[in-house]
Amino acid sequence: MAQRFGGKYSPDSTGAPEEGRPAFDGARVDPVGARSNLLFLPPVLLAFTSLTAGAAGLAAGLSGAAVLTLGAWLLRDGLRAEAEFNTRRVARRPAIPRKILAAACAGLGAALAAFKTDPGLVAPLIYGVAAGALHVGAFGIDPLKNKGMEGIDTFQQDRVARVVDEAEKYLAAMTDAVKRAGDRQIEARVERFQVRAKELLRTVEEDPRDLTAARKFLGVYLMGARDATIKFADVYARTRDAQARTDYMMLLTDLEESFGAKTKKLLLDTNSDLNVEIEVLRDRLQREGVRLS
C-alpha cells in the first residue's frame, strides 16, 4: 500500500528542519545487488526446460535448479556478512564460508544442468569447474582471517558478542514494529536513533572493557525502547494520536542524546587510557637514557 512521504519540503511540513543528524546519516547500501539477484533466474529456467527432458533429465534438472537456488541464497547472506565484517574494525571471520559454499553450489548446479543434456563425466566436470571459478571471480570468497583481534581477550570478546547480538535483536524488533505505524517520518527518526545506538555497539566491540559501563544501555534501555516502540505502533496505527506521536518522538530524542553522551564518554576514557600508556612509556624510555624531544 502506498504511503505519503512527509518531510521538510512536503506540503504539510512546518518548514523547520529537525535538530540533530539528518535521517540519511549512517545509511548503508544493501550489499546484495542486481548481480546476485540475477542468480535466481538460471534455476527457474533450468527447472522449466527440464519438464520435457524425460525422467532422468527431469531429475537432473530439478536437482540442479535446487542446488543453484541454494547457492544464490547463500551468496546473499555471504555478501551481507562480508559487508558487516568490512564495516567493523574488530571482527571475526564468518563462521560459515557462505560465498565459498555458494561457488561450490554454482559449480555443482552447472554440472547437473550439463549432465541433463550431455550425460557423462567430462563435460559436466568442465562446466562445473568453469562455473565455480567464474563465481569466485565475480563475487570473491569470504574473509578467512579475523580482523583487529590481536591482543584481545577472546573470553571477553565472546561476552561482548552475546550482548551485541541481543542488542541488535532489539533494534531489529524496533524496525519491524514501527512499520505498523505507517508514518515515514517516525520510521526515519527510529533509523536515526539506531545509527547512534550502533555507534555505541561498535565502540564496545572495539574495546570489550567498556561492556560493564555500557551493559545497561545495551540491555535495559534498548529493551525498553523496543517495548515502547511496539506499544506506540499499536496505539498510533489505531488512533493516529498526535500526542502519542509527540511523546514518542521526545523519547527517541532523549534516547539518542543519552546514547551519544555514553559513546563520547567511553571514547574519552579510552583516550585517557592511551595517554597514561604514553606517559608510562616515556618514563621508561627516560630511565633507560633515551631522550625524547
- Residue that has been written with the C-alpha cell 592511551 in this structure: 274
pLDDT tens sequence across 38-57 = 889 999 998 888 888 888 88
Rounded to 10 deg, the angle between the 184-206 and 242-287 helix axes is: 20
For 126-170, write each residue's pLDDT tens digit: 999 999 999 999 898 988 887 766 655 566 677 777 888 888 888
* 101 Cβ contact list (under 8 Å, min separation 6): 71, 74, 78
pLDDT for the residue numbered 280: 54
Do 94 and 82 meet the contact criterion of CB atoms below 8 Å apart? Answer: yes
Q: Which amino acid is at 192?
A: R
pLDDT at site 109: 92
Tell me which amino acid residue 191 is: E
C-alpha cell belonging to residue 227: 517495548
φ/ψ (deg, to 5) at 91: -160, 150
pTM here?
0.60
CA 143 to chain centre: 15
pLDDT of res. 16: 42
Residues of the chain above pLDDT 90, percent: 17
Distance in angstroms (rounded) separating the CA atoms of residues 275 and 133: 50
Tell me, what's the pLDDT at 221? Answer: 86
Least confident piece of the model among 14-23, 95-104, 116-125, 249-258: 14-23
Q: Cα–Cα distances in Å, from 1 out to 4, 180, 182?
A: 10, 12, 10
Task: Give the HSE-up count for residue 177: Cα atoms under 13 Å, Cβ half-sphere.
Answer: 19
pLDDT at residue 214 tops 50: yes
Do 247 and 192 form a contact (C-beta atoms < 8 A)? no
Other CB atoms closer than 10 Å to residue 283's CB: what's the count?
10
**222 vs 212: which has the higher pLDDT:** 222
pLDDT on residue 285: 56
